[in-house]
Amino acid sequence: MLFRATAVRALPRIRRDNPAPYLPKLKLSELQLAVLSKKPSARVRTGPATPPASTPPHPPSAADANEPPINRGPLWSPLYRRKTSAPTALLAAGARTPLIKFLGKRTVPKSVDHAPHAHPASPTHRLPDSFASYRSNAQQHGPLALGIIGARSGAELGPVQPAAGEFFDRSELPRRFRKLAWSEEEIDAVNSGGATSIKPQLSYSLKLSNNNNMSIPSRLILRETTTTGTPSATYVLSSGSASYDSKRTARIDIVSPLEPQPSLSSPASSTSSTLPSPLLIRLLAPLLPTNYPDSVSPDYTPYQIYDSIQAFASTIAGLLAARAVLTSLGESIGRAATIFFAHFFAVRIEAEVKFYRFFADVVNDLAFVLDVLSPSLPAPLLRVPALCLASACRAVCGVCGGSSKAILSAHFATRGNIGELNAKDGSQETVVSLLGMWVGGLVVSKVEGRGATWAWLLGLLAVHLWANWRAVKSVRLRTLNRARAVTVLEKCVRGEAAGVGVEEVGRAEAVWRSRDELTMGGRRWKIRFVSVEDLLQALKWERKERSLGGQDHTLRALLNVFFGEKYVLWLDADRQELIIVLKNGAVPETQLQSWYHAMIVASVASDTSEDGLLRILATTLQTSKRGWKETVDLLTREGWQIQESNLEVLPGPRLQVVRDEEIRQ
């Protein structure tokens, strides 16, 4: 990791005859940072452990004779417990300068305990008075000293001013306060002694007034990709300055994947040249899986080609054998219905498996009714359409029934025995079908007349639908779709732990009409996963021919708030919608966490102005991150599978924020 240095000509506090004020030979990626001061602080004086009397002290060198002792600080005290000897001349020489020194490798704990002392990097603690002389020490946090931060993260912090002798590790900083890499020339300025202090910029900073600067650069690129990483659109934001100016307008140019894009180091750009023709994929979209060919294995394409050839030959052979024009017409309608229904509804079946399992039997029973009704219809004006519609209903039943049955089989197989479960299910259906044929033969031989036929048919269909309804209601799915997530997460946001179990939610879940709208604060909200363009339009950007125009200060502030998150959330008060844009790397748990955050925002959204919403989003972000950990523990105990979710019904786009330093690579 490289760190920026600001060069200056005169530096009276640094001795130019210092033999080694820096350690340029060490690898910066293996180092930790500390602040050394010439004058020790009485408030933080802890010092190393006194060596035993039996151990002779380390003989001081000539350079050590006149050097002041080094205050090692409370947080870094474990670093010095390994050695009880006196400080070396190198460390003593470094104590003369207020620059940051590189002391060597140290194991960093995974979590930082803030209880013993207020941590200078904590976004939830107010800094003590001991951090009072920041400019006289190394500017370890750079722009953090320019003003109060944390107003948009829920906690106002004073200027980060580490006192003399107090130490802390940069790896313990939150992710949004990490430093960025800088050039070799600036590091050479530090190594040559021509710098007063190391001033690394932050990857995240917050503004409180129009005079503060944003950390988002003036040139910003928003890349929109598919779930597999294939670029779908690129939004290039250009403006004169990255400073906060609510009246400045900017323009976003939209670049399609086929057009030349800015030079970005992304693995997705290297795979775009190997994709088939976009026009061919668009024409074959109803026949191909979503995000083909990235969503399938390499052997999928040749298998489907030869499978289509054999199906084509088999179809012609079947027509030659049947030689029935009406039958072939009905089969054609049915197969066309299979193609179009699978294209538009196949992805939705997994999210609403109960509904589509019941819907499959409804359309199948409708096909029975049309078959019985067709002889009484005038031919060919109504009889042919009725038979064709019956064939289409059977085709839809095949798609819904087959897909939902496979999903339920995967749900039932808790020990990975899905193959055995499907085989035994087929055997059960065979036995039931044989029994039905025997009993049905007896019923058909006894029932005569149109009235009796209709009475028996409607009665059997009623039993069929009732049994299917009871079967679907008995299923207790352990994944959260939109309806179940609204029920469960709404109670978690309100602090109600009762009634969030799998059994309770499954018993109360509706089959035919699910509830996916949220009621918070006396208003009804709808949560949607949207694209980047939908987010920009919600931020009042106006669409032009190949670009969008608007004021970019809200967009920059919003990206700052969600810099370290895998999603971006915004509230559209006009449409009463909470819109979410998922970023690259978002997992199913990210979808649930974004919904949880959206519900918290809906419960406290009183100020719907842009600045008010930004403040609410930043404040509730910290609240949601703390509450989400407890929610995950609760849902896991109740039996929910957090690693899987069906909130995103259709695979949506993903956002990748590309910054200047990534463009230059």
Residues 84-99: tens digit of each pLDDT: 444 444 444 444 433 3
Asked whether 481 and 509 are in contact (CB, 8 A), the reply is no
d(C-alpha 446, C-alpha 456), whole Å:
11
Whole-number average pLDDT of the chain: 66
**432: Cβ contacts below 8 Å, ≥ 6 apart:** none
Q: Give pLDDT, residue 3.
A: 46
Local confidence band at 596 (pLDDT 50, 70, 90 cut-offs): very high
By DSSP bridging, strand 33-35 and strand 5-7 are unpaired
Q: Is the pTM of this model over 0.75?
A: no
Show the DSSP H helices in 500-646 as ranges: 502-508, 532-538, 553-561, 588-604, 610-637
Report the pLDDT averaged over residues 346-369. Answer: 85
Report the pLDDT averaged over residues 123-129. Answer: 42
Show the DSSP H helices in 206-299 as ranges: 267-271, 278-283
For a pLDDT cut of 90, what percent of the chain falls above it? 5
By DSSP bridging, strand 480-481 and strand 645-646 are parallel
Report the pLDDT averaged over residues 515-543. Answer: 84
In the three-class reduction of DSSP (H, G, I as helix; E, B as strand; rest coil), residue 4 is classed as: coil
Site of tokens 């919003």: 558
Q: Give pLDDT, residue 217.
A: 54
Residue 52 pLDDT greater than 60, yes or no: no
**β-bridge partners, 198:** 5
Of residues 605, 615, 608, 621, the one with CA closest to residue 562: 621
Residue 19 pLDDT greater than 60, yes or no: no
- Please state whether 117 falls in left (phi above 0), alpha (psi between -120 and 50) or beta: beta
Per-residue pLDDT reduced to its tens digit, 230-281: 888 888 887 544 444 555 677 888 887 755 454 444 433 433 444 456 666 6
Q: Give pLDDT, residue 258.
A: 58
Label residues 23-45 b or e (16+ Cβ within 10 Å = b).
Answer: eeeeeeeebbbbbbbbebeeebe
Task: Flag the least confident range among 31-35, 342-346, 419-423.
Answer: 31-35
Asked whether 195 and 8 are in contact (CB, 8 A), the reply is yes
d(C-alpha 532, C-alpha 235), whole Å:
9
- DSSP state letters, 213-246: BPSS-SSEEEEEE-TTS-EEEEEEEE-S--B--T
Strands, DSSP E only, in 69-115?
Answer: 100-102
Q: Give pLDDT, residue 582.
A: 93
At how many degrees (to 10) do helices 482-493 and 588-604 cross?
50
**β-bridge partners, 656:** 223
Exposed/middle/buried for 274, CB within 10 Å: 0-12, 13-18, 19+? exposed
Q: What are phi and psi of 149, to 5 degrees?
A: -115, 170
Number of H helices, E strands in the chain: 18, 16
Longest Cα separation, the chain = 120
Report the pLDDT averaged over residues 420-437. Answer: 81
Of residues 11, 375, 391, 20, the one with CA closest to residue 191: 20
Local confidence band at 126 (pLDDT 50, 70, 90 cut-offs): very low
- DSSP 8-state code for residue 171: G
Total count of residues recorded for the chain: 665
Residue 299 pLDDT greater than 70, yes or no: no
**206: Cβ contacts below 8 Å, ≥ 6 apart:** 149, 150, 151, 152, 153, 212, 560, 618
Residue 561 pLDDT greater than 60, yes or no: yes
Residue 433 pLDDT greater than 70, yes or no: yes
Residue 497 has which token pair?
Answer: 């732990």
Q: Give Cα 129 to chain centroid, integer Å.
A: 39
d(C-alpha 4, C-alpha 201), whole Å:
8
Per-residue pLDDT reduced to its tens digit, 605-647: 877 788 888 989 998 998 898 899 889 999 999 889 888 878 8
Local confidence band at 593 (pLDDT 50, 70, 90 cut-offs): very high
Task: Flag the least confident range among 225-239, 360-374, 553-567.
Answer: 225-239
- Selected residue with higher pLDDT from 395 and 130: 395
Local confidence band at 300 (pLDDT 50, 70, 90 cut-offs): low
d(C-alpha 539, C-alpha 526), whole Å:
17
Report the pLDDT averaged over residues 316-322. Answer: 50
- DSSP state letters, 556-576: HHHHHHTTTSSEEEEEETTTT
Residue 263 has which token pair?
Answer: 């030079």
By DSSP bridging, strand 577-582 and strand 523-529 are parallel
Per-residue pLDDT reduced to its tens digit, 144-195: 333 333 333 333 333 444 444 433 344 434 443 434 444 555 455 555 554 4
Residue 129 pLDDT greater than 50, yes or no: no
Q: Give pLDDT, residue 304.
A: 67
* Segment of 40-49, 117-126, 271-280, 554-563 carrying the highest mean pLDDT: 554-563
Residue 323 pLDDT greater than 90, yes or no: no
Of residues 631, 602, 613, the one with CA closest to residue 561: 613
Q: CB neighbours (10 Å) of residue 101?
A: 22
H/E segment holding residue 312: helix 300-322
Per-residue pLDDT reduced to its tens digit, 440-491: 888 888 888 888 888 888 888 888 888 888 888 888 888 888 889 888 998 8
Q: Give pLDDT, residue 562.
A: 92
Local confidence band at 112 (pLDDT 50, 70, 90 cut-offs): very low
Per-residue pLDDT reduced to its tens digit, 387-422: 888 888 888 888 888 888 888 888 888 777 788 778
d(C-alpha 77, C-alpha 404), whole Å:
61
